[in-house]
């Protein structure tokens, strides 16, 4: 019986780690999507910077073409001014030259703005040059290591399940069935609880002294009257030498 209770505790520990692995595996699609979203966000930012840089560059050359057109217009107006014979020709030439100069001044302000935008975008891209260069390979590497980790967890889970089968089959049939029944009914799946200091360590209900004595003897399966878990007793010396005994969490059932 004592050996069987030890097997139950081992089974319980295994089930706890199986449950943890399952939760991790269930969270994988979400975690993978988060990694992809993070890389998408960075790629989007970089594309936006590149677009801003290209747009500024293009606008600047367009504005420069317009400036040279306005300079031609101003020169023509200056020539007309020199050759004007009549007052109205003279006035028209002055007005034309003024308009062209005003236009040039506006265009030059716009060119300065485009140059600032261009410098800003280029500076940001220079700052992130390493990231830009390796973004795609970083993404692939990050996802690959995530997928490797996932496969490893799935392998561990399969191995743990096989080990669980082995442990269940090694138990007397009725005991294995009891364990499975209790484990399924209890929300956290902890079917085995340590009895210590006269209480169940899962629900903290005090045990009758006779029940505690029976658990200590370990000749039969004793369950907690409150939470129905199978109780086992770990002698104090083994509990103190083993820092992580099978100690179930408190369940709110
Ligand atoms: Zn209990």
The CATH number of whichever domain residue 89 belongs to comes to: 1.10.287.1490
**Phi, psi (deg, nearest 5) at residue 115:** -65, -40
Give, for all 253 residues of the chain, the pLDDT tens digit: 578 888 998 999 999 999 999 999 999 999 999 999 999 999 999 999 999 999 999 999 999 999 999 999 999 999 999 999 999 999 999 999 999 999 999 999 999 999 999 999 999 999 999 999 999 999 999 999 999 999 999 999 999 999 999 999 999 888 899 899 998 888 888 899 999 999 999 999 999 999 999 999 888 889 999 999 999 998 865 544 444 444 455 545 4
Q: Is residue 238 part of a domain?
A: yes
Domain with 180, as residue range(s), is 172-253
Q: Is residue 11 part of a domain?
A: no
**How many CB atoms are located within 10 Å of the residue 213 CB?**
13
Per-residue pLDDT at 189: 84
Residues 54 and 94 in one domain: yes
How many domains are there within the chain?
Answer: 2
Calculate how far, in angstroms, residue 237's C-alpha sits from the geometric centre of ligand 1. 23
What's the burial of 85, exposed, middle or buried (CB within 10 Å: 0-12/13-18/19+)? exposed
Q: At CA 141, angle to CA 136 and CA 146, rounded to 5?
A: 130
Per-residue pLDDT at 241: 43
Q: Is residue 166 part of a domain?
A: no
Calculate how far, in angstroms, residue 46's C-alpha sits from the geometric centre of ligand 1. 58
Say whether 27 sits in a helix, a strand or coil.
Answer: coil
Radius of gyration for the chain, computed over Cα atoms and rounded to the nearest angstrom: 40
Provide the residues around ligand 1 (an ion) whose CB is within 5 A.
200, 202-203, 224, 226-227
Q: How far apart are CA 134 and CA 126, in angstroms?
A: 13
Residues 136 and 181 in one domain: no
């Amino acid at each position: 019986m004592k050996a069987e209770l030890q097997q139950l505790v081992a089974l319980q520990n295994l089930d706890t780690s199986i449950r943890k692995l399952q939760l991790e595996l269930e969270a994988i699609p979400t975690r993978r999507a988060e990694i992809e979203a993070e890389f998408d966000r960075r790629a989007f930012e970089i594309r936006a910077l590149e677009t801003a840089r290209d747009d500024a560059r293009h606008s600047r050359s367009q504005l420069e073409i317009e400036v040279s057109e306005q300079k031609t217009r101003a020169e023509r107006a200056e020539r007309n001014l020199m050759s004007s014979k009549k007052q109205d020709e003279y006035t028209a030439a002055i007005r034309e030259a003024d308009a062209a100069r005003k236009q040039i001044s506006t265009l030059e302000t716009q060119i300065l703005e485009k140059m600032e935008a261009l410098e800003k975008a280029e500076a940001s891209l220079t700052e992130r040059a390493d990231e830009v260069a390796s973004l795609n390979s970083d993404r692939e590497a990050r996802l690959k290591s995530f997928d490797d980790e996932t496969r490893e967890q799935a392998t561990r889970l399969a191995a743990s399940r096989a080990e669980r089968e082995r442990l269940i089959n090694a138990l007397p049939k009725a005991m294995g069935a009891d364990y499975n029944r209790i484990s399924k009914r209890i929300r956290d799946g902890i079917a085995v609880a340590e009895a210590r200091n006269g209480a169940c360590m899962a629900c903290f209900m005090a045990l009758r002294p006779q029940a505690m004595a029976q658990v200590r003897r370990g000749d039969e399966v004793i369950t907690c009257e409150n939470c129905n878990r199978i109780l086992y007793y770990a002698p104090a010396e083994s509990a103190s030498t083993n820092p992580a005994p099978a100690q179930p969490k408190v369940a709110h059932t």
